[in-house]
Amino acid sequence: MDVNSSQGFPFAIIGFDLDGTLLDTSGDLAAAVNHALASIGRPALSVEAVKPMIGGGARAMLKHGLDATGGYDETTLDTLHHRLLAYYEAHLAVHTAPFPGALAALDELAARGVRLGIMTNKLERFARSILDSLGLTARFDTIIGGDTLGVAKPSPIPIQALVAQCGGGTAAFVGDSIFDVEAARAAGLPVVACSFGFLSQPVETLGADAVIDGYDALIPTLARLSPSAT
Residues belonging to the active site: 17
CA–CA separation, 37 vs 10, rounded Å?
46
* Amino acid identity, position 58: A
CA–CA separation, 121 vs 153, rounded Å?
7
CA–CA separation, 197 vs 136, rounded Å?
19
HSE-CB at 20 with a 13 A cutoff on CA atoms is: 31
Angle between helix axes 74-90 and 58-68 (nearest 10 degrees) is: 120
Question: Do you know the residue count of the chain?
Answer: 230
> Is the CA virtual torsion 20, 26, 28, 32 positive or negative?
positive
The DSSP annotation for 39-98 comes to: TTTPPP--HHHHGGGTTS-HHHHHHHHHHHTT---HHHHHHHHHHHHHHHHHSTTSS-EE
* Amino acid identity, position 199: L
